Structure 1
Amino acid sequence: MRVRTIGFVILAALAIWFIAANTGSITVRLWIPTVTLPLWIVLTVTLLVGIVLGLLIARRRAQR
């Protein structure tokens, strides 16, 4: 296994553990509306948005 793969697996495991450990509800302000959501949903959405943005940036760099 490559070191990069091992690092990715470790980071993914830590992210999943962190999300699972934070289960309380929080209030999120989305410009005008305010919603109350479980923290794990907010963290999961944030993680997924970060992954998508990272993939888009990597694809743009590869095309150059």
Structure 2
Amino acid sequence: MEENQTTPEVQEQEPKKISLAEAMKQKLAQKKQEQANANSKQKHGPGGNQQTMKSQNHKKVNNQRKKMGV
């Protein structure tokens, strides 16, 4: 009969019943943690997915002919 009885160790491993709001909070916290870990690896890791910096100084189009009507 001892085989059928649940020990405290087995009961701790089973998931506890929690509210839906609490479950969503835990899932959101876990997601934020994973994103933070992923972002830190990409920024500091070699060969990360970094975009190359582009110059913001763009040449303006010369529309002098349009203004003069030529």
When normalised by structure 1's length, the TM-score is 0.47
Higher strand share: 1
The structure number with the bigger radius of gyration is 2
Higher helix share: 1
When normalised by structure 2's length, the TM-score is 0.44
Taking CA–CA contacts closer than 8 Å with sequence separation of 6 or more, which of the two structures ends up with the larger relative contact order? 1
